[in-house]
């Protein structure tokens, strides 16, 4: 897995990545993302050209938002490479601060962002009720058997 490329995704591929990742809309603490054309993405391709992960993001003035991050092969540092590339892309556009949302049950994602300098800056208590209003099939119980209730926003200054 040493030979890889990270490259921009076409708008059509962003739409496919989002639909494969989750059902639209994608709800964060700050926004509801329903149109993949409003975001950009980078894809991680292995040496055979297969997409093995992606990160999608949007810039809103000097604030950037990571909308989705997925690494299909655990333990290969794909997520780290993608988040580093997205941070650089956003930095190059003048973004000063990046936010990302995860849920209270996603302990792995929380640790991932904390290790990379993100800090917990906002908790939307019972935020998953807002998500369930749009997507009623979202379960009440998440990872590790934890109640799926809150949305947590992490932020990182990247100046």
* Each residue's pLDDT expressed in tens, for the chain with a length of 159 residues: 468 899 999 888 888 888 887 778 999 999 999 988 889 999 999 989 999 999 999 999 999 999 999 998 888 899 999 999 999 999 999 999 999 999 999 999 999 999 999 999 999 999 999 999 999 999 999 999 999 999 999 999 997
Helices (H), 2-159: 11-21, 78-92, 107-115, 127-134
Domain that holds residue 68: 4-157
Residue 63 backbone phi and psi in degrees, to 5 = -110, 130
pTM (2 d.p.): 0.92
For the chain, the domain total comes to: 1
**CA 138 to CA 129: how far, in whole Å?**
9
Residue 65 belongs to domain with CATH number: 3.40.630.30
User: What is the pLDDT, as a whole number, of residue 147?
Assistant: 98
**Strand order through the sheet with 119-124:** 4-8, 40-46, 51-60, 63-71, 97-103, 151-157, 119-124
């Amino acid at each position: 897995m040493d030979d890889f490329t990270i490259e921009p995704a076409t708008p059509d591929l962003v739409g496919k990545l989002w639909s494969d990742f989750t059902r639209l809309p994608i709800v964060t603490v700050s926004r509801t993302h329903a149109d993949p054309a409003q975001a950009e993405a980078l894809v991680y391709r292995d040496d055979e050209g297969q997409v093995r992960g992606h990160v999608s993001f949007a810039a809103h003035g000097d604030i950037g938002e990571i909308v989705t991050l997925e690494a299909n092969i655990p333990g290969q540092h794909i997520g780290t490479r993608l988040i580093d590339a997205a941070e650089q892309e956003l930095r190059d556009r003048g973004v000063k601060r990046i936010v990302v949302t995860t849920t209270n049950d996603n302990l792995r994602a929380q640790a991932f962002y904390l290790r990379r300098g993100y800090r917990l800056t906002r908790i939307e208590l019972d935020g998953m009720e807002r998500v369930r209003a749009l997507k009623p099939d979202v379960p009440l119980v998440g990872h590790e058997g934890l109640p799926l209730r809150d949305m947590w926003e992490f932020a990182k200054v990247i100046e």
